[in-house]
Amino acid sequence: MNNWRRIITIILFLVSMDVGSAWAQADSGRTSVESATWRLEVGNDVLFGKDNQISSGWSVQKHSAVAGSWEDLAGMPEFIHQWGAAVPTLTGEGLCYRGGIAVGQVIQTPDDLSRRHLNKDDVPYAGALTAQASWYAFNDDEFRGFEFTLGVVGPPSLARQTQKLAHQITNDTEPRGWDHQLKTEPVLNFNYMRKQKIWRYGNRADWAADVSVDGHAELGNMFTQASVALECRWGYNMPRGFASVPDPIGLSMHYIAALTPTNPQAGSFYATLVLTGSAVAHNIFLDGNTFRDSHSVDKEPLVGLLVAGIHYEKENWGIHFNVMVSTDDVDTDDAPDAEGHEQLGIITIESRF
């Protein structure tokens, strides 16, 4: 409970504080939610007093400024321009365009970190280190996005070293079972997403709400699944467009589908609630290595996910806090020590330029 209070106190402090002269100058109109943006996203289950299954994840992302065409994207590698124009359905009348690149890491562990031997009744030790590129076209009514992920699982992911260092710094339990992690394997994944806004209420310059439906599919040796979601936003002076759903584990997309709010000089404060249902065909963290023998557990074919968040955004910066809770994704009859839902708290910080 103390961890929750600290997070909420930090966010409320940022909302109410006088940010200072440097940030006040940046708030003079030189930047907006449509500007190029650096984003740091960090997730951990410590807020729920646990350290198992998906234990932590992080990503560093760079998103281009909103542009009128794929050719006009600034500050992105050349292939972002070329692929955006080539991918079907990502170009259309009335849409604006944005691209992103990211690097990230995710770590999964069983419940008992003190055991040196393999625990066949729990999920495997696993880590992934990835690079991602995303293309998305959107307006205030619809969103179309595509992303590919390239990376590696196994020892080259550096998950073992990352977790051991973090536990040394925090004086936490030393994880002793990393000798049994998934073996080295390259991963390649593709993700396609569509969103459509279906309901709006209120005054955009004041308090308002909206609801969107979301469908997306993933194909690859990291994840293969199809999902549908209902996304709800409610708040004050919300940016036009769509809420960003945090993605510390490669199950969704990295994107910032935001357009300037009605009152760009005022802050935007809003809450989100996302309900997702997924049909899962493959999850490398549970199914184990694709091409080599490794420890695995039976997964649940249908998984539900709830993401609740609070968000505060100014013209040149933003902070977001989300919690993610899923239904069981492991068949606990097969792996009784994996009992318990996936739970993560995720902090996202954005800086625009």
**Tell me, what's the pLDDT at 18?**
36
pLDDT at 6 exceeding the cut of 70? no
Which residues, listed in sequence order, are joined to residue 240 by a DSSP beta bridge? 259
Per the CB < 8 A criterion, the answer to whether 187 and 223 are in contact is no
CA 206/CA 306 separation, integer angstroms:
27
Q: Which residue has the higher pLDDT, 255 or 22?
A: 255
- Mean pLDDT (the chain) is 89
CA 228/CA 257 separation, integer angstroms:
18
**Maximum CA pair distance of the chain?**
59
Global confidence as pTM: 0.89
pLDDT at 1 exceeding the cut of 50? no
Per the CB < 8 A criterion, the answer to whether 166 and 121 are in contact is no
Hey, how many other C-beta atoms are within 10 angstroms of the C-beta on 191? Answer: 25
- 10 Å CB burial of residue 83 (0-12, 13-18, 19+) is middle
Please state which of the ranges 227-231, 332-336, 344-348 shows the lowest mean pLDDT: 332-336
For residue 85, give both structure tokens: 């124009």
Q: Which residue has the higher pLDDT, 337 or 28?
A: 337
Task: Give 2-12+30-352's CATH code, choosing from 2.40.128.140, 3.40.50.300, 1.10.579.10, 2.20.28.10.
Answer: 2.40.128.140
pLDDT at 11 exceeding the cut of 70? no
- Confidence category of residue 15, pLDDT binned at 50, 70, 90: very low
Residue 231 parent element (H or E): strand 223-236
Arithmetic mean of pLDDT, 34-52: 83
333 three-state secondary structure: coil
Hey, how many other C-beta atoms are within 10 angstroms of the C-beta on 121? Answer: 16
Per the CB < 8 A criterion, the answer to whether 125 and 90 are in contact is no
pLDDT in tens, 282-329: 999 999 999 899 999 999 999 999 999 999 999 999 999 999 999 999
Count Cα neighbours of 32 within 13 Å in the Cβ-side half-sphere. 17
For residue 330, give both structure tokens: 């492991």
**Tell me, what's the pLDDT at 177?**
93
In the chain, where the domains are located? 2-12+30-352
**Tell me, what's the pLDDT at 47?**
66
- Confidence category of residue 342, pLDDT binned at 50, 70, 90: confident
DSSP secondary structure, 267-322, as one string: -EEEEEEEEEEEEEEEEHHHH--SSS-----PBPSEEEEEEEEEEEE-SSEEEEEE
- Confidence category of residue 229, pLDDT binned at 50, 70, 90: very high
Per the CB < 8 A criterion, the answer to whether 100 and 65 are in contact is no
pLDDT in tens, 50-62: 666 788 899 999 9
For residue 242, give both structure tokens: 């769509």
